[in-house]
Amino acid sequence: MEISGKKAIIVGGASGMGRASAELLAARGASIAILDRPSSDGKAVADNIGGAFFEADVTDFDGTEAALQAAVDELGGLHVTVTTAGGGIGRRTLSKDGPHSLDEFRQVIDLNLIATFNVSRLAASHMVRNEPEDEERGVIINTSSIAAFEGQIGQIAYTAAKAGIAGMCLTMARDLGSLGIRALAIAPSLFLTGMTKDIPEEWTKPLTKDAAFPKRLGRPGEYASLVAAIIENPMLNGQCIRLDAGQRFAPK
């Protein structure tokens, strides 16, 4: 699918990998809507790229549906979604304080897995209305993590959520394939986003010592480059692509 002229919604596009994706796609000629929290820099980012901003808390599923509908109305259609919103906590299955809180587990699942599926299902319902371009109507790109495959101690909830996102790829692609809609996920290692973006370089070396190359944290623009490559290559479908410099997480 050609990026130029397409309509894209970036969920979590106010910062980090989402922001980089919004900026790159806009530079390639796509019309962009950013969905993010009211307290985010979403409006400033959107204004800077000639896009639109819509307030959304992804754990408010009805509110997200309304925001996504408003974004589609503003754009005049939808061809691409990129969902980067998410996060985790540090809790073991069993600790000195007792078993892992079910409420906290559910919160992480809601923030990552359920919110991602909510955006995906809604996006598909809009994409199916598009006139096909070389038989293709849309691309759904979600964000997993290499923690989905080798989660560290204390990441049980986050691992479950991100593994769910990875696991949905092929089934979603099969569900939507006859409609001309592709579905994939990207599984980053540690990237310079959120709490890690201001960490001094000497502190990051132990975190990336097991990477093959390069031995550093990923850059948001590298995630965005993969987003663009996925959109442009119709043979990429139904998989979760690791973006990790050959990193394999140790137990802790």
Number of domains in the chain: 1
Question: Could you report the per-residue pLDDT of 191-227, keeping only the tens digit for each?
Answer: 998 767 767 777 788 889 999 999 999 999 999 999 9
Q: Which residues are catalytic?
A: 158
Q: Which tokens go with 216?
A: 């550093």
Residue 165's CATH number: 3.40.50.720
Parent domain of 229: 7-243
Looking at residue 187, what is its pLDDT? Answer: 98
Question: Could you report the per-residue pLDDT of 1-29, keeping only the tens digit for each?
Answer: 999 999 999 999 999 999 999 999 999 99
Q: Is residue 120's pLDDT more than 70? A: yes
- Mean pLDDT calculated for residue range 128-149: 98
pLDDT category of residue 52 using cuts at 50, 70 and 90: very high
How far, rounded to the nearest angstrom, does the alpha carbon of residue 8 sit from its chain's CA centroid?
13
Q: Is residue 92's pLDDT more than 90? A: yes
Class of residue 188 by CB neighbours under 10 A (exposed 0-12, middle 13-18, buried 19+):
buried
Question: Could you report the per-residue pLDDT of 164-183, keeping only the tens digit for each?
Answer: 999 999 999 999 999 999 99
First to last CA, the chain: 40
In a domain, 249, yes or no: no
Which stretches of the chain are DSSP H helices?
16-27, 42-48, 61-75, 102-109, 115-127, 147-150, 156-177, 201-208, 220-232
Average pLDDT taken over every residue of the chain? 96
Q: Is 227:186 a contact under the CB 8 Å cutoff?
A: yes
In a domain, 1, yes or no: no
Say if pTM beats, i.e. exceeds, 0.75: yes
pLDDT category of residue 235 using cuts at 50, 70 and 90: very high
Cα torsion 35, 38, 40, 43: sign: positive
Looking at residue 204, what is its pLDDT? Answer: 81
- Mean pLDDT calculated for residue range 45-59: 98
In a domain, 146, yes or no: yes
In a domain, 2, yes or no: no
